[in-house]
Each structure stands twice: as C-alpha cells, then as structure tokens.
C-alpha cells in the first residue's frame, strides 16, 4: 500500500529529481510532485512524495523531518486528505445565500 508524504519548506530552485534522490534512500518511490505556481511557473516551496510502503514512508518522515536540505530545514509529514479550500466559507449551505452585504 502506498503512502503519501507532504514535504514543505523546499527551496524554490528544487526539482522533482532532487527530491526523488533524497527520498529513494528510504525505499521505492511511486511518484514525486512539486507544486508549481501557475502564474510564475516556479515551485511554491512544497510538494508530495508517494512511497510504495507505509514502513518506508515512516522511515523517511522520521529521518528527514527537521533536517537541512539545500540550505532549508525540511518539514516532512504524512500528507492529509485535501480540504474543500475552493469553497466560500461564508456561504450558508442551507439556503445557498452568502454572508451579509454585497450585490445580488
């Protein structure tokens, strides 16, 4: 079973190959994804690594969290499921109406 890992505080010059090389010491890598800024095309400073086994992922998290990498201190944790970030939190879901004020 694969396990997804969040990798934060990455340098803006990092490549997926850089991250792959860092994590492959701990086991088989299924995928590496650096999140890119759609406006600039540059990395946003975080990404995800998917490892083949839970044991390998746990080893990588324990070994790499808080360690220096390319002059940055990494934040490495188990990835959490995505949240509904695109939704307007002011929206009243029962009536479909938004918060007070504004044009209708």
Q: What is the CATH number of the domain that holds 52?
A: 3.30.70.330
Phi, psi of 22 (to 5 degrees): -65, -45
Q: Is residue 46 part of a domain?
A: yes
Q: Is residue 102 part of a domain?
A: no
Gap between the Cα atoms of 3 and 30, Å rounded: 9
Structural domains of the chain, count: 1
Gap between the Cα atoms of 86 and 9, Å rounded: 23
Determine the distance from the C-alpha atom of residue 88 to the mean position of all C-alpha atoms in its chain, rounded to a whole number. 22
Q: Is residue 83 part of a domain?
A: no
Low-confidence ranges of the chain (pLDDT < 70): 85-104
Q: Is residue 101 part of a domain?
A: no
pLDDT at 87: 53
Entry pTM = 0.77
pLDDT, tens digit (0-9, with 9 covering 90-100), for 34-61: 999 999 998 999 999 999 999 999 999 9
Q: Is residue 86 part of a domain?
A: no
Q: Is residue 91 part of a domain?
A: no
User: Structural domain of residue 34, as residue ranges?
Assistant: 3-78
- Paired with 97 in beta bridges are 92
């Amino acid at each position: 079973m694969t396990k997804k890992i969040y990798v934060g505080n990455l340098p803006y010059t990092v490549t997926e190959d850089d991250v792959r090389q860092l994590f492959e010491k701990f086991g088989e890598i299924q995928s590496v994804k650096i999140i890119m800024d759609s406006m600039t095309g540059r990395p946003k400073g975080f990404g995800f690594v998917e490892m083949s086994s839970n044991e390998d992922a746990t080893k990588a998290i324990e070994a790499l969290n808080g360690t220096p990498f390319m002059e940055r201190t990494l934040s490495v944790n188990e990835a959490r499921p995505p949240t509904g970030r695109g939704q307007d939190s002011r929206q009243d879901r029962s009536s479909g109406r938004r918060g007070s004020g504004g044009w209708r």
